[in-house]
Chains A and B, each alone.
Chain A
Amino acid sequence: MGEGRGWGWSVIRAYTVLVYLFMFLPVAVVVLLSFNASQFGAFPMTGFSFRWFQALWENDAIVRAFRTSIALGLMTALVSTTLGVLAALALVRYNVPGRDMITTLLIAPILVPEVVLAVALLLFLNFLNINKSFGLLLMGHVIFTLPFVILVVQARLVSIRKDVEEAAQSLGATPRQTFFAVTLPLLMPAVAAGALFAFTISFDDITGTLFWKPGGVETVPTQIFSMLRNSISPEINALGTVMIVMTVGLPVIGAGIARLLARRRGA
């Protein structure tokens, strides 16, 4: 693969491997410690055990929190990406008066310290006599994931040449048709990146969730946070391991099966 690309490419590849190693270090620690026999993991490890996985399997609270987090993350990604793509489209493709101000306004949710945003929103709801609910929590997550989507979609949209869209319109397509047939497919990487951002940020959020969650609703981070006073159970490490095995393992297995089928068909 590196052939014909010169030594510069090899350097970039080695550099990238190092960057990935840096990203994986804490992940590796968590995965290793999920197999540790004792609760506090200093290296070298004291023993190998599956006890935390078994405990995780039996812990309804964590499993329930995990499901809530996934559902909340998916919904946030859906709503936030939709709103973000529409807004980015308007800002880049149209001559909107006061564009700088509007962009700043839409990015504002990540400029305010989250704890302030959390308390401010609660004060406002209290003023309106509205109780906390899952819908509110969702809207809160949408608000602070929106800037991520808008920034990444805008950056991509700028580099999509207008003449492709104009060509479509000259053939009689309405702006809406042009968007779905031309712009959206070209925009897909940014839409995917934006949705990925929105999902992971929502999945990982603590401060806002802590303040906005209604009674009886726990996400994985709030569940962990409330365990901090006593001690975080290594079941949480086990949960991390399970999730990583799922995200890494499933695509790899899928790709393997696809390759196997292709080979069989080829033979």
Chain B
Amino acid sequence: MDNTTRYERLRDRYRNGDISRRKFFGLIGAAGAAYGLQTPFAKYAMAQDVKQVRFDGWGGVVSEAFRKHAFDPFTAKTGITVVDGTFPGGDEYLAQVRASQPGEYNIAHLSGVFDYARYHNFDLTSELNLDNIPNMANVMPALINAFHAVTPDSLSAAPYDYGSTGLAYNRKYISDDEAKEKGAMLLIDDAYKGKIGGWSDWRTRVWYGALQTGQDPNDIQDIEAVWDAVRKHRDLALKYWASGAELMSLLAEEEIYVTEAWSGRVYALQEQGHDIGYYDPPKGFGWQECLFVIKGSPMEACEELLNFMLDKETSIAVAEGQNYPPALDPTKVDLGKKIPTLPAFDPTGTLAGLTFANPEYWNGHEADWSETFSRVQRGY
């Protein structure tokens, strides 16, 4: 093509230039409109009366069970829609709530007593009117009392489920007897160097460090000895896992033979036919989860929703999905066939067999220990 024809072609295309230009400005207009959808005034239109409640929790089976057994019936009865969000962890969620406006987040499925105390410290607790939550009568008193230790005169949450963080081991390589005999020491046993795992959570690491040095996790006298045990575990461990999904695949694929583990996850592995043993050593780590109502939420709607969620059918469906027993008192409510077989399940309804973290003690050391762990983990 010579230059003359090339330029002639260009000139032809100029004539179409107007169309392209219009298209182009159309695109910019669309972008502006998309941004404009969000106006500062939108929220005032919504704040008139309660049309929706926001619930945040874990995804997958848990949110599916809530949707089916609690949210949809709740909406059918009250006309209030439940907007559900998900989070990958309580820490991420707290960061979001701290950076939000009052009323934006309403109910959350949180890790029990620490979070309860942490939210209380950030002045995010509300006061539930228990008259509106008759199903609360079926909840084990032991779980409710743990919250009263933080807020003696009121409740901001309903207990929902519980479990333990015990020892999981591959039965091919480690016998039940060996696990019972060695207990927490199994995690710092040189014989399994490179085949040991652990949760990358500072509380769990310090808790097991205390057990390995013969101390009471709720009253540690020699924290330096605990850090040395944490260092020893770090050097023997192949991997710190950060999620249940990772924990399960590490155990199932035999990357590691022993780790501490969440009871429900080990049960799920056993259900799928993997030969994994589970043992709660003396003073093993028990925990509970709750449905927490955040300050600034529409209380009556939230209370009614909590009542729906504490309903026997919903509780059992969620429990069977995530393999953690519900907070309902087994001496008052028939929990069906599967739940009594779950690890950490307590048929007496007293939970005397589990050791829970003292929230005041642990939250008091949180700032110091969480930062120290971050250094210890990296070899300092």
A67 to B70: give the CA distance in the assembly, Å. Answer: 25
Which listed residue, A130, A168, A223, touches B10 by the CB 8 Å rule?
A: A168
Using a CB-CB cutoff of 8 Å, which residues 224-265 of chain B contact chain A? 243-246, 248-249, 252-254, 264-265
Which A residues are CB-close (under 8 A) to B264?
230
- Contact check, B13 vs A181: say whether CB atoms are below 8 A apart: yes
Q: How distant is A104 from chain B, measured CB to nearest CB, in Å? A: 24
**Does A9 have its Cβ within 8 Å of any Cβ on chain B?**
no
Q: In terms of DSSP, what is the predominant structure of the interface of chain B? A: helix
How many angstroms from the CA of A215 to the CA of B83 in the assembled complex? Answer: 6
Q: Would you give the 0/1 interface string for A204-246, flagging 1 where the beta carbon is closer than 8 Å to chain B? A: 0000001101011010001101111111110000000000000
Number of residues from B at the complex interface, CB < 8 A: 59
Closest to B105 in A: A215
* A182 contacts partner chain B, Cβ-Cβ < 8 Å: yes
Inter-chain CA distance A229–B60, complex, in Å, is 9
Which residues of A have CB within 8 Å of B86? 218, 222-223, 225-226
| Cβ of B59 under 8 Å from chain A | yes
Known: A226-B88, A227-B59. A126 touches B100 (CB 8 A): yes
Whether the Cβ atoms of A138 and B34 lie closer than 8 Å is: yes
The reply to whether B40 and A129 form a contact with Cβ atoms under 8 Å apart is: yes
> A82 to B10, Cβ gap below 8 A?
no
Given A176-B21, A226-B59 in contact, is the A122-B100 Cβ separation under 8 Å?
yes
Which listed residue (A38, A139, A231) contacts B268, Cβ 8 A?
A: A231
Residues of A within 8 A of B62 (CB): 230
A252 within 8 A of B: no
Q: Give per-residue flags for B17-28: 1 if the beta carbon is below 8 A from chain A beta carbons, else 0.
A: 100110010011
Residue B222 is within 8 A (CB to CB) of chain A in the complex: no
Tell me which residues across on chain B come within 8 A of A216, comparing CB atoms: 83-85
Residues of chain A contacted by B42 (CB below 8 angstroms): 131, 133
Q: With an 8 A cutoff between CB atoms, is A40 at the interface?
A: yes
Q: Please, how many angstroms separate the alpha-carbon atoms of A130 and B103 in the complex?
A: 13
A89 interface contact, C-beta 8 A: no
Closest to B322 in A: A230
Per-residue interface assignment for chain B, residues 104 to 131, with 1 indicating a CB less than 8 Å from any chain A CB and 0 otherwise: 1000000000000000000000000000
Chain A positions within 8 Å of B87 at CB level: 210, 226
B96–A211 CB distance below 8 A: yes
| B38 and A136 within 8 A (CB) | yes
Shortest CB distance B112–A (Å): 15
Establish whether residues A228 and B85, one from each chain, have CB atoms under 8 Å apart when the complex forms.
Answer: no
B76 within 8 A of A: no
| Interface size, chain A (Cβ < 8 Å) | 51
CA distance A139 to B35 in the complex (A): 7
- Give the distance in Å from the alpha carbon of A123 to the alpha carbon of B95 in the complex: 10
Q: Which of B13, B60, B96, B265 has the largest count of A CB atoms less than 10 A from its CB?
A: B60
Residues in chain B near residue A61, CB distance under 8 A: 59, 63-64
With A131-B101, A216-B84, A223-B59 given, is the CB distance from A79 to B244 under 8 Å? no
Q: Which of B30-75 contact A (CB under 8 A)?
A: 30-31, 34-38, 40, 42-43, 54, 58-64
**Do B85 and A173 have beta carbons less than 8 Å apart?**
no
Asked if B153 is at the interface of the complex by the 8 Å CB criterion, the answer is no
Q: Is B79 an interface residue (CB 8 A)?
A: no
Chain B residues with CB under 8 Å of A126's CB are 99-101
Q: In the complex, A200 Cα to B86 Cα: how many Å?
A: 23
> Does A87 have its Cβ within 8 Å of any Cβ on chain B?
no
The answer to whether A135 touches B60 (Cβ under 8 A) is no
Closest to A125 in B: B99
B92 in the interface, Cβ–Cβ < 8 Å? yes
Closest to B52 in A: A215
Central interface residue in A123, A128, A168, A180, by most chain B CB within 10 Å:
A180
CB proximity of A240 to chain B, nearest CB, Å: 15
**When chains A and B are docked, how far (Å) is the Cα of A16 from the Cα of B227?**
49
User: Hey, which chain A residues are within 8 Å of B11, CB to CB?
Assistant: 171, 173
B380 within 8 A of A: no
Q: Does B272 contact A (CB under 8 A)?
A: yes
Q: Any chain B CB within 8 A of the CB of A75?
A: yes
A38–B269 Cα gap in the complex (Å)? Answer: 11
In the bound complex, residues from chain B placing their C-beta under 8 Å from that of A130 are 38, 40, 43
Complex A-B, nearest 9 residue pairs according to Cβ-Cβ distance, in ascending order: A226-B59, A226-B86, A122-B99, A40-B252, A228-B243, A215-B83, A135-B38, A227-B60, A181-B13
Offer 30 A-B interface pairs, CB within 8 angstroms, sorted by A. A40-B249, A61-B59, A83-B31, A122-B96, A122-B99, A122-B100, A126-B100, A129-B40, A133-B37, A138-B34, A168-B10, A171-B7, A171-B11, A177-B14, A180-B13, A210-B87, A215-B54, A215-B84, A222-B86, A225-B59, A225-B86, A227-B58, A228-B243, A228-B244, A230-B62, A230-B264, A230-B265, A231-B245, A231-B248, A231-B265
Binding site for A on B (CB under 8 A): 7, 10-11, 13-14, 17, 20-21, 24, 27-28, 30-31, 34-38, 40, 42-43, 54, 58-64, 83-89, 92, 95-96, 99-101, 104, 243-246, 248-249, 252-254, 264-265, 268, 272-274, 322
* Supplied contacts A79-B34, A126-B100, A133-B37, 20 more A-B pairs, CB within 8 Å: A75-B34, A82-B27, A133-B38, A133-B42, A135-B34, A135-B37, A167-B7, A173-B14, A177-B14, A181-B13, A226-B63, A227-B58, A227-B59, A230-B61, A230-B62, A230-B245, A230-B265, A230-B322, A231-B245, A231-B265
